[in-house]
Amino acid sequence: MKTKNLNIIIVLGLVATIGILIAQLLWTKEAFNLEEKKFSQRTHIALLEVVKKLYQGTNSELPIQNPIKKIANDYYIVNVENDFQPDILEHYLKSEFTKFNINTDFEYAMYNCQSDEMVYGNYVSFGDKKAIQKSVYFPKHENLVYYFAVRFPDETSYLLSSLRFWFVLSIALIIILLVYVYSIYTIIQQKKYSELQRDFINNMTHEFKTPLSSILLASTYLNKQEIIQKDTKLEKYTEIIINQSKKLNSHIEQILNIAKSDNAPMTMNKKEILLVPIIIDVIENMQLKHPNLSVKINADETTKINADEFHFTNIVYNLLDNSIKYCDENPTISIDILEDKNKIKLDFSDNGIGVSNKNLNFIFDKFYRIPSTKSNEVNGFGLGLYYVKKICTQHNWKIFATNNDDKGITISIEIPK
């Protein structure tokens, strides 16, 4: 993905997530205001019912004007214009608040004509706590004689508790936003490291290939000289230089091809090919270099697959080469091709040193080399099996490795028909 497109996606995703979060917070605030309004209405109706109860059994009539006045969100005064008893008042307050589902602690006080001040009545708890006696100041109101005041000290926390779902949702959105930001940061860092790695590989291969070409050219010319050909040791040394230079050049080409394939998908020229002839051709070439190599093929010679012949040949070469490199004795490899209605399965089994179970899942990773003495002796960059896995993936094939019962490993490729 291009950097410009990635940046656009990041910005749009960030704006969308922040927008959803802001909308959620606004909805939460609106929900709180609505709950506060509903609480105020329920309280007003409940206090009005208390006033009616206080007038029952008396010869007085209810006040014409609304006797309830809201001083603050959590503070109300009620003008009853009639004498009343504190115990009766508390009983009515409890019953009416319970009736209207106002289940939060409250405190009340009433005006004392004789002392001309508000006298604290009681603190009423709806929870498991016992009634608390404490001194709380209630301001006096002018021009009122028979009235009482009610305060809800925990109104805010009570309202917030009724909005738990909204707060949980807001917290979840905040967590999602943080995870999104962290993921974007990680993606940007990984992309940065990937670009640095690709640039490094491109520069490294270029810098290596220039002197290597000179070495190959000079050593090939040197090997043709008559004085070299007459001296067996000198001829052997020049051949070592040429062979090792070719090997190094092959490694550099492999690294370069992997770097290119990571940047853009490799082009696949798929066609129907016979499996066994290609495998035999690779084996014959490998046996020229490793005469002690023994390979047994168990397959139907007419088995065909739809694949890129060049890359499939490289797959077979890499798998055989790996089996030879990581073997402490004469390498013996068994290639079994099994076919059924749905798929063709290729099993490459060797008698090598094997791989521990904890490392088996990593052998197809890029640049991964199993930490062992044998790995230190074998030249390579850990790209062979990574290349094999990549080609299999682009063909939509499955590849996996298992340990054999005695020794060595089996690498299996499943090719759907």
| pLDDT tens-digit series, residues 171-192 | 887 888 788 778 877 877 877 7
Taking residues 326-331, report their average pLDDT: 84
Whole-number pLDDT of residue 60: 66
**159 vs 92, higher pLDDT:** 92
Which residues are CB-contacts of 76 (< 8 A; sequence separation ≥ 6)?
43, 44, 47, 68, 69, 70, 149, 150, 151
Whole-number pLDDT of residue 334: 92
Per-residue pLDDT at 265 exceeds 90: no
Strand 294-298 to 332-339 pairing: parallel
Q: Which residues of 270-300 are buried (b: 16+ CB within 10 A; e: fewer)?
A: eeebebbebbbebbeebeeeeeebebeeebe
Which residues are CB-contacts of 79 (< 8 A; sequence separation ≥ 6)?
63, 67, 68, 69, 144, 146, 147
Per-residue pLDDT at 347 exceeds 90: yes
Whole-number pLDDT of residue 346: 92
Whole-number pLDDT of residue 147: 80
Query: pLDDT above 70 covers what percent of the chain?
Result: 82
Residue for token digits 């490729």?
A: 413
CATH superfamily, region 270-416 = Histidine kinase-like ATPase, C-terminal domain (3.30.565.10)
**28 vs 277, higher pLDDT:** 277
Per-residue pLDDT at 129 exceeds 60: no
Q: What is the DSSP secondary-structure string of 220-282?
A: HHHHTSHHHHH-HHHHHHHHHHHHHHHHHHHHHHHHHHHHHHHHSPPP--EEEEEHHHHHHHH
Confidence of residue 102 (pLDDT cuts 50, 70, 90): confident
Per-residue pLDDT at 267 exceeds 90: no
Tell me the pLDDT of the chain averaged across its residues: 80
Question: What tokens appear for 213 in the block?
Answer: 């070409």
Taking residues 144-172, report their average pLDDT: 80
Whole-number pLDDT of residue 259: 63
Report which of 270, 250, 263 is spatially closest to residue 394, judged by C-alpha positions.
270
Whole-number pLDDT of residue 348: 93
Min mean pLDDT across 40-44, 74-78, 169-173, 303-307 is at 169-173
- pTM above threshold 0.75: no
Per-residue pLDDT at 146 exceeds 70: yes
Per-residue pLDDT at 258 exceeds 70: no
Whole-number pLDDT of residue 378: 58
Cα 197 to Cα 18, 259, 366, distances in angstroms: 34, 9, 12
CB 249 within 8 A of CB 257: no
Per-residue pLDDT at 27 exceeds 60: yes
Question: What tokens appear for 203 in the block?
Answer: 């520069």
Per-residue pLDDT at 375 exceeds 60: no
Query: pLDDT above 90 covers what percent of the chain?
Result: 6
Per-residue pLDDT at 257 exceeds 70: no
Structure confidence by residue, pLDDT tens digits, 362-372: 888 877 676 65
Backbone angles phi, psi at 336, to 5 degrees: -110, 125
Taking residues 157-182, report their average pLDDT: 79
Per-residue pLDDT at 321 exceeds 70: yes
Whole-number pLDDT of residue 336: 92
Backbone angles phi, psi at 356, to 5 degrees: -65, 150
Whole-number pLDDT of residue 266: 66
Whole-number pLDDT of residue 365: 82
Secondary-structure percent of the chain, ordered helix, strand, coil, rounded to 5: 55, 20, 30
Taking residues 192-205, report their average pLDDT: 73
Confidence of residue 71 (pLDDT cuts 50, 70, 90): confident
Structural element, H or E, at residue 407: none
Confidence of residue 398 (pLDDT cuts 50, 70, 90): very high
Q: Which residues of 303-313 are buried (b: 16+ CB within 10 A; e: fewer)?
A: bebebbeebbb
Whole-number pLDDT of residue 134: 54
